[in-house]
């Protein structure tokens, strides 16, 4: 099959009870997948394994046919920087930088010059309907505006996969839905896949496919129907 990310048999323990207990999971190009399940079921651990942030105790994650654990730390970092985008619940913007500088940062880290990086950042802020706060610092914008800036920052490098861990968790439902709409529209336009961790059904409703994690195991809801 046409696979971008493929995880097989992931196990990960932090203590006596496994956080992941033989999890399998695939994401196709451009697919928006919601990862659901109760608190403590292993959703974040799965996301972090898929993104190469933590190494599973056993099992493997392949990204475009390459196993993450077989890469050097430098290769994994380069991959995260150039091919992945990340959105978290909060606290992800650098407080000392303006919104434009925050969005430009991932491009600056790839060596792009300031002028070009900030021009592209400005385009994404406009796209996410937050160009009015481009000179503000994160502490001066609302939660919904901050998450739109975070979405812009995740998309600015043109990643193939966006990892979003409860991206609307700190927002009211109206702002949450607006952020999901903007995120999924932008992902579809750029062809990026999205792996979205959420416990809210109305957030998962923006996905193409839902999976449920329970006690460290993955159930594909398509198979359950
Ligand atoms: P979810 O995202 O579904 O809430 P997590 O993946 O965060 O679940 O956590 C799964 C289990 O692993 C939980 O029991 C949690 O307490 C435990 N856990 C997660 N991260 C750590 C950690 N860094 N150290 C110890 N235990 C952890
Ligand atoms: P360890 O076995 O103690 O994790 P390694 O030397 O194998 O030590 O890994 C060095 C660092 O790279 C560790 O911090 C580890 O978390 C990270 N790492 C290794 N493999 C992966 C992976 N597949 N995904 C994410 N991080 C990884």
Whole-angstrom distance, CA of residue 99 vs CA of residue 214? 37
pLDDT in tens, 91-135: 789 999 999 999 999 999 989 999 999 999 999 999 999 999 999
pLDDT at residue 215 greater than cutoff 70 = yes
CA 11 – ligand 2 centroid, Å: 14
Query: Best of 44, 199, 204, 211 to mutate for ligand 1, by most ligand atoms within 8 A of CB?
Result: 44
Atom of ligand 2 at shortest distance to CA of 49?
Answer: 24
Question: Are 123 and 189 spatial neighbours (Cβ–Cβ below 8 Å)?
Answer: no
Whole-angstrom distance, CA of residue 178 vs CA of residue 130? 12
Q: Say what the pLDDT of residue 225 is.
A: 45
CA 53 – ligand 2 centroid, Å: 8
Question: Are 190 and 127 spatial neighbours (Cβ–Cβ below 8 Å)?
Answer: no
Query: Residues enclosing ligand 1, CB less than 6 A?
Result: 14, 19, 37, 39-45
Q: Say what the pLDDT of residue 89 is.
A: 86
Mean pLDDT score, 144-172: 95
Report the nearest-CA residue for atom 4 of ligand 2. Answer: 55
The interface predicted TM-score (ipTM) is 0.70
Confidence of residue 223 (pLDDT cuts 50, 70, 90): low
* Total-model pTM: 0.87
Query: Best of 48, 73, 78, 80 to mutate for ligand 2, by most ligand atoms within 8 A of CB?
Result: 73
Q: Say what the pLDDT of residue 17 is.
A: 93
Query: Best of 7, 42, 48, 216 to mutate for ligand 1, by most ligand atoms within 8 A of CB?
Result: 42
Task: Supply 173's token pair.
Answer: 């439902």
Ligand nearest to the CA of 35: 1
Report the nearest-CA residue for atom 22 of ligand 1. Answer: 14
Whole-angstrom distance, CA of residue 196 vs CA of residue 165? 6
């Amino acid at each position: 099959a046409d696979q971008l990310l493929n995880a097989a048999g992931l196990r990960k323990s932090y203590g006596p009870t496994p956080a992941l207990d033989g999890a399998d999971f695939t994401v196709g190009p451009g697919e928006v997948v919601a990862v659901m399940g109760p608190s403590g079921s292993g959703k974040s651990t799965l996301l972090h394994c898929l993104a190469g942030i933590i190494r599973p105790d056993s099992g493997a994650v392949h990204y475009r046919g390459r196993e993450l654990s077989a890469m050097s730390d430098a290769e994994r970092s380069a991959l995260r920087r150039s091919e992945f985008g990340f959105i978290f619940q909060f606290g992800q913007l650098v407080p000392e930088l303006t919104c434009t500088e925050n969005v430009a940062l991932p491009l600056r880290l790839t060596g792009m010059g300031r002028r070009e990086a900030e021009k592209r950042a400005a385009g994404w802020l406009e796209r996410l309907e937050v160009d009015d706060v481009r000179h503000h610092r994160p502490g001066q914008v609302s939660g919904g505006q901050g998450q739109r800036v975070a979405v812009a920052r995740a998309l600015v490098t043109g990643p193939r996969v966006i990892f979003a861990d409860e991206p609307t968790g700190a927002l009211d439902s109206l702002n949450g839905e607006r952020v999901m709409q903007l995120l999924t529209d932008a992902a579809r336009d750029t062809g990026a896949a999205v792996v979205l961790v959420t416990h809210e059904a109305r957030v998962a409703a923006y996905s193409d496919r839902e999976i449920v994690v329970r006690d460290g195991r993955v159930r594909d809801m398509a198979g359950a129907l």
